[in-house]
Chains A and B, each alone.
Chain A
Amino acid sequence: DAGITQSPRHKVTETGTPVTLRCHQTENHRYMYWYRQDPGHGLRLIHYSYGVKDTDKGEVSDGYSVSRSKTEDFLLTLESATSSQTSVYFCAISEVAGAPTGQFFGPGTRLTVL
């Protein structure tokens, strides 16, 4: 299994508070991604990174920011959490563009915003 961990695995927070989720990989893969999974929507891309300090927005990036200061870590920050950001968040990694193995996923973080 690809070495991907996410922390925390579960978090309950209140509206308006900042939240940071961490994704850590030991595979030295170039690409890292943050998705959210909601019923009826599948997985939707929030942000992704194609190298250290190189990031770009996905389809649902509003209210989220990311940072990647090291190859192995990709942080997702909710500056001021809202109830609509209650979701399961998955981190994924990919070795190179065109890899036939697709992405490897972390175990997910369940975030509840009250």
Chain B
Amino acid sequence: AQKITQTQPGMFVQEKEAVTLDCTYDTSDPSYGLFWYKQPSSGEMIFLIYQGSYDQQNATEGRYSLNFQKARKSANLVISASQLGDSAMYFCAMREGGGTGNQFYFGTGTSLTVIP
């Protein structure tokens, strides 16, 4: 089974509108972390936001927020007030806790295009 599932290969959003990028995860580990990364066309991977499995509140970082629904194993990224510079690939990732592994699992990504 896939550890991270991103079901939206491509998304379009009008500039200044909000957009939600979906992510579901699969783990039986009670301790885990969820991350979102942005990859613009230049290729670098940029960390956006983190949510810990024990965090009670949804994480927020500026225009980014993570809609964490633990029971549904969902960790959707919400970008408010989209900007042209938000056009990029977005990857959801999970780190499972415990041991020395500290492994990360990535989804296949969602390509976001912001339309002027």
Write the residues of chain A forming the contact surface with B, with a CB cutoff of 8 angstroms: 31, 33, 35, 40-45, 48, 50, 54, 56, 58, 88, 90, 92, 94, 97-98, 100-105, 107-108
B68 near A: Cβ within 8 Å? no
Instruction: Assess the B91–A43 pair: CB atoms within 8 A.
Output: yes
Q: How many residues of B contact A (CB 8 A)?
A: 26
| A102 shortest CB reach to chain B, Å | 4
Known: A42-B109, A100-B33, A102-B93. A50 touches B47 (CB 8 A): no
Known pairs A42-B6, A98-B33, A101-B47; list 9 more (Cβ under 8 Å): A48-B101, A48-B103, A54-B100, A92-B104, A100-B33, A100-B52, A102-B95, A103-B104, A107-B44
B35 near A: Cβ within 8 Å? yes
| A93 shortest CB reach to chain B, Å | 11
**A–B Cβ pairs within 8 angstroms, 9 of them:** A42-B6, A42-B107, A42-B109, A50-B101, A50-B102, A90-B45, A98-B31, A102-B104, A103-B47
Instruction: Assess the B102–A48 pair: CB atoms within 8 A.
Output: yes
Instruction: Assess the B106–A107 pair: CB atoms within 8 A.
Output: no
| B46 shortest CB reach to chain A, Å | 8
For A105, the chain B residues whose CB sits under 8 A away are 37, 44-45
For A56, the chain B residues whose CB sits under 8 A away are 100-101
Write the residues of chain B forming the contact surface with A, with a CB cutoff of 8 angstroms: 4, 6, 31, 33, 35, 37, 43-45, 47, 50, 52, 91, 93, 95, 97, 100-109
Instruction: Assess the B47–A104 pair: CB atoms within 8 A.
Output: yes
Q: Which of A42, A56, A104: most chain B CB closer than 10 A? A: A42
For B91, the chain A residues whose CB sits under 8 A away are 42-43
A56 to B35, CA, bound (A): 22
A61 to B101, CA, bound (A): 15
| B69 shortest CB reach to chain A, Å | 19
B47: contacting residue among A35, A88, A102, A108, CB under 8 A: A102
A107 to B91, CA, bound (A): 16
Instruction: Assess the B108–A42 pair: CB atoms within 8 A.
Output: yes
Instruction: Assess the B106–A43 pair: CB atoms within 8 A.
Output: yes
